[in-house]
C-alpha cells in the first residue's frame, strides 16, 4: 500500500477511535515514513523539521485564547448573553426559539464569511465570539454540530469563490499561479476570471451540504448541561460558583462596568487592526491583551494567571497544528505523493470520468493529512495539470479539479484550522468532541458534496 494512504488511514482510524489527534498524527507519520522507505532516524528528523511550521499558528492560537479570557473578564460575554435572553423572552415559544436560532446561525455565518474576505482575520474571531454564546445555545437546545458546519462553511467557501481577502491569496496568488506555472510548457493558460467561475460549482455543493446539515441532519434539539467555561476567572471556585457562572443572569447587567465594555470594544478593534496591518495574529492578540490590562479590566498581577488560562484553553489545538506540520513534512519526504498519483493513473486508461474521480479521491487522501489547501496546491498542481492536459480537460475543468482536490483538506481534515477553529470555541465547556462533533459532520456534509460537484464540474465545464 502507498505510504501516504497508509499514514492517512492510520491517522484517521486512531482519531475515530477517540485516540488523541496529536498521538494519531505522530503514529501516522511514523508509519508513513517507515512504509515510504525512510529510516526511523530520517522519519523523526523530517517530522522535527516540519513541526516548526506549525509553531507560529500554535502560538497565535494561545495568544488569542489569552485575549478571549481577558475579554470575558470585562463583562462583554454576559452582555451578549443577556441581549439574546431578552430577545428570546420569558415565554420562549417554539416560534420565537426558531427565530432566535435562525438569527444566531445567520449572524455566525455572516461573521465567518466576513473573516475570510471583508475583514480577513480567519479564525481569530472564534475564541472571542463563540464561548459567550454557548449558554444561549444550550437554552435553545441548539445542536453544536450545526454551528460547527456553519463555521466551517464560512471559513472555507468564501475564499474558494470570492477573490477578496484570503480569497485573493487562494484563487490568484496560489491556485492561478501554480496552474499557469505547471501548464506553461503544455500550452495551458488560465485567466483570473476563469478561477471563480470554475470554483462556483464545487462551492454550490458545499452550500447544499450546509442546507442538509441545518434542515435535516442537526435540526433536532440536543441537550447540553450548563457548565462553566474554561475561560474567565482563573481563581479556584466551588462547584456551585462554577455552575452559576456558566448560566447568564439578566439581573446582573447593572454589575457590568461601562468602562470595561468600552475597553473591550477598543481592544477588539485594535487587535483586528494590528493583525490586518502586520499580518500577525500573535501581535494583534498581545496588543488587545495589553489594552485590556491598561484599561483596568484586570489587575496587572493577574495577567500571568489569565494568560496561562487562555493558553491552557488552546493548548490542544496548538499541539494538533504542530503535529500536523510534522506529519505533512514526513509525507513530502517520502516522495510517495507523486508515486500515489502515478500509480492511480496507470490503471485508468483513457476514461475521463474515472480520471476526474480518481484525481479528487487521491487529492482527498493527500489533503486529509496536510490539512491545508493553501499548502497542498503547490504539491498537486505540478502533478495534476499535466495529467489534466493529457486527458483533455478544459482550462475551467482543470481549475475545478485542482481547486476542489485542495479544498477537501480544509473542509474535513482533523488537522485543518477550519475544523480546529470551530472546536476551539464550541468545546470550552468540554462538551464538543473535535472528531465526532466537528470533523465527521463537516466531512460528511462538505467533502462528499465537494467530490460529487467537483466531478460534475470537471465533466461539464
Using the predicted structure, report yes or no on whether residue 239 has a pLDDT greater than 50: no
Instruction: State the alpha helices, DSSP H only, in 371-412.
Output: 373-390, 395-412
Q: Give the angle 109-232-315 at the CA atoms, nearest 5°.
A: 75
Mean pLDDT for the stretch of residues 275-282: 71
Q: Where are the domains of the chain?
A: 3-219+252-460
The C-alpha atoms of residue 396 and residue 145 are separated, in whole angstroms, by 34
Q: Estimate the share of the chain in helix, then strand, then coil, as percent rounded to the nearest 5.
A: 80, 0, 20
pLDDT band at 317 (very low <50, low <70, confident <90, very high): low
Q: What single-letter DSSP state applies at residue 2?
A: -
Using the predicted structure, report yes or no on whether residue 89 has a pLDDT greater than 70: no
CB 369 within 8 A of CB 28: yes
Which has the higher per-residue pLDDT, 223 or 173? 223
Q: For position 242, what pLDDT does the model report?
A: 42
Using the predicted structure, report yes or no on whether residue 184 has a pLDDT greater than 90: no
> Counting beta carbons within 10 angstroms of the beta carbon of residue 456, is it exposed (0 to 12), middle (13 to 18) or buried (19 or more)?
middle
Beta strands in 115-202 (DSSP E): none
Q: For position 443, what pLDDT does the model report?
A: 92
pLDDT band at 202 (very low <50, low <70, confident <90, very high): very high
| Cell 474576505 sits on residue | 117
Greatest CA separation for the chain: 73
> Counting beta carbons within 10 angstroms of the beta carbon of residue 286, is it exposed (0 to 12), middle (13 to 18) or buried (19 or more)?
middle
Give DSSP secondary structure letters for 39-96: -HHHHHHHHHHHHHHHHHHHHHHHHHHHHHHHHHHTTHHHHHHHHHHHHHTTT--HHH
The C-alpha atoms of residue 13 and residue 15 are separated, in whole angstroms, by 5
Using the predicted structure, report yes or no on whether residue 303 has a pLDDT greater than 50: yes
CB 321 within 8 A of CB 415: yes
The tens digit of pLDDT for each residue in 361-418 reads 888 877 776 666 766 777 778 778 888 888 888 899 999 998 898 888 777 788 787 8
Record the cell numbers describing residue 215, joined without a space.
434542515
State whether the Cα torsion 347-199-209-7 is positive or negative. positive
Record the cell numbers describing residue 307, joined without a space.
494568560
Three-state SS sequence of 421-436: HHHHHHCCCCCCCHHH
Element holding 277 (H helix, E strand): helix 258-278
Q: What percent of the chain has a predicted confidence (pLDDT) above 70?
A: 78
The C-alpha atoms of residue 249 and residue 257 are separated, in whole angstroms, by 15
Q: For position 120, what pLDDT does the model report?
A: 57
The C-alpha atoms of residue 290 and residue 293 are separated, in whole angstroms, by 5
CB 265 within 8 A of CB 337: no
* CA proximity to 293, closest of 285, 284, 303, 307: 303
The tens digit of pLDDT for each residue in 326-362 reads 887 887 788 777 777 677 666 666 778 888 888 888 8
For 239, residues 6+ apart whose C-beta sits below 8 A from its C-beta are none
Q: For position 386, what pLDDT does the model report?
A: 81
Helix axes 194-212 and 395-412, enclosed angle (nearest 10):
40
Using the predicted structure, report yes or no on whether residue 243 has a pLDDT greater than 60: no
| Cell 492510520 sits on residue | 10
The C-alpha atoms of residue 331 and residue 409 are separated, in whole angstroms, by 15
Mean pLDDT for the stretch of residues 32-41: 88
Question: What's the mean per-residue pLDDT of the chain?
Answer: 79
Among 233-247, 262-276, 287-301, 375-389, the minimum mean pLDDT is found in: 233-247
CB 150 within 8 A of CB 106: no
The C-alpha atoms of residue 236 and residue 399 are separated, in whole angstroms, by 55
Record the cell numbers describing residue 84, joined without a space.
439574546
Mean pLDDT for the stretch of residues 428-438: 88
The C-alpha atoms of residue 10 and residue 389 are separated, in whole angstroms, by 33
For 23, residues 6+ apart whose C-beta sits below 8 A from its C-beta are 14
Mean pLDDT for the stretch of residues 146-174: 86
Amino acid at each position: 500500500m502507498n505510504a501516504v494512504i497508509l499514514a492517512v488511514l492510520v491517522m484517521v482510524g486512531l482519531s475515530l477511535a477517540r485516540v488523541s489527534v496529536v498521538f494519531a498524527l505522530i503514529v501516522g507519520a511514523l508509519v508513513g515514513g517507515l512504509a515510504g522507505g525512510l529510516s526511523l532516524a530520517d522519519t523523526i528528523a523530517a517530522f522535527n523539521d516540519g513541526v516548526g511550521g506549525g509553531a507560529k499558528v500554535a502560538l497565535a492560537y494561545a495568544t488569542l485564547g489569552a485575549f478571549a479570557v481577558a475579554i470575558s473578564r470585562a463583562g462583554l460575554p454576559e452582555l451578549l448573553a443577556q441581549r439574546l435572553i431578552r430577545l428570546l423572552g420569558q415565554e420562549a415559544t417554539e416560534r420565537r426559539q426558531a427565530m432566535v436560532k435562525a438569527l444566531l446561525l445567520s449572524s455566525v455565518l455572516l461573521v465567518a464569511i466576513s473573516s475570510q474576505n471583508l475583514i480577513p482575520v480567519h479564525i481569530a474571531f472564534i475564541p472571542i465570539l463563540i464561548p459567550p454564546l454557548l449558554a444561549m445555545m444550550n437554552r435553545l437546545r441548539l445542536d453544536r454540530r450545526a454551528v460547527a458546519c456553519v463555521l466551517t462553511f464560512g471559513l472555507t467557501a468564501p475564499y474558494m469563490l470570492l477573490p477578496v481577502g484570503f480569497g485573493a491569496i487562494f484563487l490568484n496568488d496560489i491556485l492561478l499561479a501554480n496552474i499557469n506555472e505547471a501548464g506553461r510548457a503544455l500550452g495551458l493558460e488560465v485567466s483570473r476570471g476563469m478561477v471563480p467561475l470554475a470554483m462556483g460549482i464545487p462551492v454550490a455543493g458545499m452550500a447544499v451540504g450546509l442546507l442538509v446539515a441545518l434542515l435535516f441532519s442537526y435540526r433536532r434539539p440536543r441537550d447540553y448541561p450548563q457548565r462553566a467555561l474554561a475561560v474567565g476567572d482563573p481563581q479556584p471556585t466551588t462547584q456551585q460558583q462554577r455552575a452559576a457562572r456558566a448560566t447568564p443572569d439578566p439581573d446582573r447587567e447593572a454589575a457590568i462596568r461601562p468602562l470595561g465594555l468600552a475597553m473591550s470594544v477598543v481592544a477588539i478593534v485594535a487587535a483586528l487592526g494590528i493583525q490586518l496591518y502586520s499580518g500577525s495574529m500573535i501581535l494583534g492578540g498581545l496588543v488587545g491583551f495589553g489594552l485590556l490590562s491598561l484599561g483596568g479590566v484586570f489587575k496587572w498581577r493577574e495577567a500571568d494567571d489569565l494568560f496561562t488560562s487562555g493558553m491552557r484553553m488552546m493548548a490542544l489545538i496548538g499541539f494538533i497544528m504542530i503535529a500536523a506540520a510534522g506529519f505533512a513534512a514526513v509525507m513530502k519526504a517520502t516522495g510517495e505523493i507523486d508515486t500515489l498519483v502515478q500509480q492511480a493513473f496507470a490503471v485508468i486508461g483513457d476514461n475521463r470520468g474515472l480520471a476526474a474521480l480518481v484525481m479528487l479521491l487521491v487529492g482527498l487522501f493527500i489533503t486529509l493529512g496536510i490539512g491545508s489547501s493553501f499548502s497542498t496546491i503547490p504539491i498537486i498542481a505540478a502533478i495534476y495539470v499535466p495529467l489534466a492536459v493529457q486527458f483533455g480537460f478544459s482550462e475551467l475543468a482543470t481549475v475545478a479539479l485542482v481547486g476542489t482536490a485542495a479544498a477537501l483538506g480544509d473542509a474535513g481534515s482533523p488537522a485543518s484550522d477550519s475544523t480546529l477553529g470551530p472546536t476551539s470555541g464550541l468545546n470550552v465547556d468540554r462538551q464538543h468532541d473535535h472528531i465526532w462533533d466537528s470533523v465527521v459532520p463537516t466531512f460528511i456534509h462538505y467533502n462528499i458534496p465537494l467530490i460529487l460537484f467537483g466531478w460534475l464540474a470537471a465533466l461539464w465545464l
